[in-house]
Structure 1
Amino acid sequence: MSSIFDDVRGEFSKTNNAVIKLILTNVIVFVAIIILYIVFTIAQYPHYYQWVMDQLSLPASFGAFLYKPWTLLTNFFVHQGPFHVFFNMLSLYWFGQVLEEYLGSRRLIAIFLLGGLAGGVLFLTMYNLVPYFQPELANTSLIGASGAVFAVILGAATLLPEHTFFVFLIGPVRLKYIAALCIIITMAQLVGPNAGGNLAHLAGAMVGFGFIKSLQNGYDWGKPIYTIGEFFQKIFTSKPRIQVPQRARATTSTTARHFSQKSENASVIIPNQDEIDAILDKISKSGYESLTREEKQKLYKASQQ
């Protein structure tokens, strides 16, 4: 058991593995909820378990939400039932790896969080303003990472629509078709028993699409998330101050500026059309996974032009 804890702690100490950290966070919360359910059920205090769930799930009523605003964030880290968490985390693993490989960990986290928050906002808005949903207002709440995961799916499909996944019993399927099927299923269930969850799916999908399109036009929706993350990182991380002699500091500064200028000049090289065509041909023949890191970066630079 201690080795499992060591492995988990090791994963959280690593950098550039946001997919694993998000999955572990959701799984840890899920396991904790199962333990609470078992303990309170055996102790014959099921109302305590329900109280815990009420503090984590997002209520449909805006009045109830005002008394626990934190649920706008906590709801998409909470799952009930093994299949609920399994399929969400499996989708996050598949599609999240594509985004993390191409855009980095912090942008993946930003898309996930913004998708989950947007899902909660649309859920609250529709249930409080649209008459169709209001009969269920008092008895409905939202949990699950589906909205956040849909943001990741649509983000990956918008970034790399021709990227293929191998689907069991079907074969290779392009990301754009997987995303289209997800949207169709969501739209078909907007008036079903899980209408609230599907509203969150739709909001997450819009965030994933908009995030990538905005990024390709030069604006990053994730900036507020990065700022908040850096703020908390400064609070919980302390770096020892290293005394550097004045002469050495000046030399280091000059060298660093020279290196930075060279790096910036190198980073703005845009691949030509022949290079892009060759990369696209390689994707169509061998799949996105066959690309080198340099080829992935070239493709991303081309998509921003």
Structure 2
Amino acid sequence: MDIAGDIKRTFKEGSVLTRLIYINIGVFLLLKIIGVFFYLSGQSLPVYQWLSVPSVTEVLAQRPWTPITYMFLHQGFIHLFFNMIGLYWFGQLFLYHFEGGKLLGVYIMGGLWGAFLYVIAYNLLPVFSSTNGLLLGASASIFAVLVAIAFYDPNREIHLFFIGRFPLKYVAAFYVLLSVIGISSTNPGGNIAHLGGAFWGWFYIYQLRKGKDMGAGLVNLVNKIGGFFGGLFKHKSKMKVTYRKPPRDDHEYNRQKHQQQDEINRILDKIAKSGYESLTKKEKELLFKQGKK
């Protein structure tokens, strides 16, 4: 079994959602393996402190990379497991309407807004005046994805285990309310970060409906960096030029035309339900070619 080859192939050919999940899991496993060697040598592993967002602005200025690295960092397996389950569920719903680039933009910008609100709260609110903290985890980014898709498609129903079907808007509202209540609990910083991510998810869709993709610039930057390091997030087109033989008879010709018309009808239905912006690049190209005929 070529496990490493399978992982490499699925990462390369997978969606942005697949790659985000792989990176989160990969970082977790790598740090845990490194931690074993530190443990056996009788030393502690300081890398979590260097990759988490510090609440002290002076320390943050010395570690400017942490608002990015923290959103891929998990210290416990349970924390990682539930975050990845949430990212998969809500990410799939998001990709039903939008392409992967928008998911990447919402994930990263949601994480950045979570870190921003966290640092602001810890430095301005009196309750945190004598408290220093560290922020890590993908929760703020996941909240951004959840609120974004709930704001865009609020009445879509999802099935909750042991409870039943609920509209997505109520699920998002419940988690946001839970985070507000949780600020006075044992994890105030994390819950504040959740609200920062939730704000970005709402703001992103609000601006997108006006025709402004607020995450496009960041996604282009990430793709350029990814291209330099081997196409980390840039999803290469799987389209290739082929030379098809003409239909052998009228039955084959009609079958091909019927399939093509079904695809066009599906795209038109998607536009009627979710708007032109919900189309993928491939769907837009197909619609454009059809319009030129």
Q: What TM-score results when the alignment is normalised by the length of structure 1?
A: 0.76
Contact 1:18 1:100 (C-alpha < 8 Å) held by counterparts: no
The residue number in structure 2 matching 1:261 is: none
Contact 1:112 1:152 (C-alpha < 8 Å) held by counterparts: yes
Q: Distance in 1 between matches of 2:138 and 2:191?
A: 12
Go from structure 1 to structure 2 and tell me whether the alpha carbon gap of 1:209 and 1:82 turns closer, same or farther (over 3 Å shift): same
Q: Does 1:72 align with 2:46?
A: no
Give the aligned residue type for 1:295: D
Stretches of 4+ aligned residues off by more than 6 angstroms: none
Instruction: Give the C-alpha shift of residue 301 in structure 1.
Output: 1.0
Contact 1:102 1:297 (C-alpha < 8 Å) held by counterparts: no
The residue number in structure 1 matching 2:153 is: 160
Instruction: Give the C-alpha shift of residue 13 in structure 1.
Output: 1.6
Instruction: Give the C-alpha shift of residue 130 in structure 1.
Output: 1.4
Contact 2:147 2:202 (C-alpha < 8 Å) held by counterparts: yes
The residue number in structure 1 matching 2:12 is: 13
Superposed CA offset, 1:109-154 (max 9, x none): 00000000101111111111111112112xx100000000000110
Contact 2:53 2:67 (C-alpha < 8 Å) held by counterparts: yes
The residue number in structure 1 matching 2:142 is: 149
Q: Does 1:173 align with 2:166?
A: yes
The residue number in structure 2 matching 1:256 is: none
Match of 2:112 among 117, 127, 133: 117
Instruction: Give the C-alpha shift of residue 303 in structure 1.
Output: 8.9
Instruction: Give the C-alpha shift of residue 293 in structure 1.
Output: 5.7
Give the stretch that moved more between structures: 222-231 or 159-168. Answer: 222-231
Instruction: Give the C-alpha shift of residue 297 in structure 1.
Output: 3.7
Q: Distance in 1 between matches of 2:91 and 2:228?
A: 28
Q: Distance in 2 between matches of 1:118 and 1:212?
A: 15
Q: Distance in 1 between matches of 2:26 and 2:77?
A: 13
Give the aligned residue type for 2:40: I
Superposed CA offset, 1:55-100 (max 9, x none): 1111110011111110111011000111100111101100101111
The residue number in structure 2 matching 1:32 is: 30
Q: Does 1:298 align with 2:272?
A: yes
Go from structure 1 to structure 2 and tell me whether the alpha carbon gap of 1:83 and 1:236 turns closer, same or farther (over 3 Å shift): closer
Give the aligned residue type for 1:13: K
Match of 1:213 among 200, 206, 213: 206
Contact 1:110 1:222 (C-alpha < 8 Å) held by counterparts: yes
Partner SS state of residue 275, structure 2 = helix
**Superposition RMSD on alpha carbons, in Å?**
2.0
Contact 2:106 2:204 (C-alpha < 8 Å) held by counterparts: yes
Q: Distance in 1 between matches of 2:21 and 2:129?
A: 34
Q: Distance in 2 between matches of 1:27 and 1:69?
A: 23
Partner SS state of residue 135, structure 1 = coil
Partner SS state of residue 166, structure 1 = strand
Instruction: Give the C-alpha shift of residue 302 in structure 1.
Output: 7.3
Partner SS state of residue 114, structure 2 = helix
Aligned residues: 245
The residue number in structure 2 matching 1:242 is: none
Q: Distance in 2 between matches of 1:147 and 1:293?
A: 33
Instruction: Give the C-alpha shift of residue 10 in structure 1.
Output: 1.1
The residue number in structure 2 matching 1:88 is: 83
Give the aligned residue type for 2:129: Q
Contact 2:55 2:122 (C-alpha < 8 Å) held by counterparts: yes
Match of 1:107 among 102, 105, 108: 102
Q: Distance in 2 between matches of 1:237 and 1:188?
A: 43
Instruction: Give the C-alpha shift of residue 236 in structure 1.
Output: 4.7
Instruction: Give the C-alpha shift of residue 233 in structure 1.
Output: 4.6
The residue number in structure 1 matching 2:216 is: 223
Match of 1:45 among 43, 63, 81: 43
Greater helix share, structure number? 1
Q: Does 1:204 align with 2:197?
A: yes
The residue number in structure 1 matching 2:21 is: 23
Contact 1:157 1:179 (C-alpha < 8 Å) held by counterparts: yes
Q: Distance in 1 between matches of 2:74 and 2:219?
A: 26
Q: What TM-score results when the alignment is normalised by the length of structure 2?
A: 0.79
